Structure 1
């Protein structure tokens, strides 16, 4: 896959893709945030949105926000309100719009790992 930004989340504590987790993707420009994409993750834990094919992606800074607390409460995980991890932001920079930027999130109620995947 060339170009675009994709997100994928796995609930490693329960061993399942994070189906139903809400994710927002913002372009960070001129000191503000502009919403580029939003939605809930599908059965495979991935966001199905045109941004994955490059729509609206330009060089610059971005922020993905994963709504982990809401997801865990909806899944019946006893995390309280607010949860230890309510929202997890991930800021990154696109330097080459011809490359694909895959953002896998692996998480539990108490920690997470985010990185640029293949």
Structure 2
């Protein structure tokens, strides 16, 4: 059964990014995003309540996860320049197989980020 999940690790502090806000959007054929869900990551840097999309809600298409990086680090007491180098980090990706497991992890600091298709 297909599903979409995410996990965020704070590389500056060496811990999960508990409290980071994440928005999941579906990208329309016209390129306009439609917000599906906004959530706050739990103590493990993951979404509470299971996957972001599950077998019933997965659909072939283009999606975007938007991670509120500057707000997260600012709330952790990190002194950031204004404007912050990284504010919101959008990751655009496609779902081609609704039976597949799509995991989109984010490794992030105030100055850099990395992602990949996880397992």
Fold shared by both chains (TM-score > 0.5):
yes
* Structure 1 residue 52, shift from structure 2 partner: 4.2
SS, match of residue 90 in structure 2: strand
* Structure 1 residue 82, shift from structure 2 partner: 2.5
* Structure 1 residue 109, shift from structure 2 partner: 1.1
SS, match of residue 39 in structure 1: strand
Which residue does 1:102 correspond to in 2?
103
The 4+ residue runs of structure 1 with deviation greater than 6 A are none
Which residue does 1:21 correspond to in 2?
20
CA pair 78-54 structure 1, distance change in 2 beyond 3 A: farther
Which residue does 2:41 correspond to in 1?
41
Q: Single out whichever of 54-63 and 6-15 deviates more from structure 2.
A: 54-63
Which residue does 1:4 correspond to in 2?
3
TM-score, L = length of structure 1: 0.92
Deviations along 1:48-91, one digit per CA (max 9) or x if unpaired, are: 25534344220010000000000000011111332110000000
TM-score, L = length of structure 2: 0.91
| Structure 1 residue ranges without an equivalent (≥5) | none
CA pair 55-48 structure 1, distance change in 2 beyond 3 A: farther
Aligned residue pair count: 117
| Structure 2 residue ranges without an equivalent (≥5) | none
Separation of aligned partners in 2, 1:61 and 1:53: 16
Q: Single out whichever of 37-46 and 78-87 deviates more from structure 2.
A: 78-87
SS, match of residue 10 in structure 1: strand
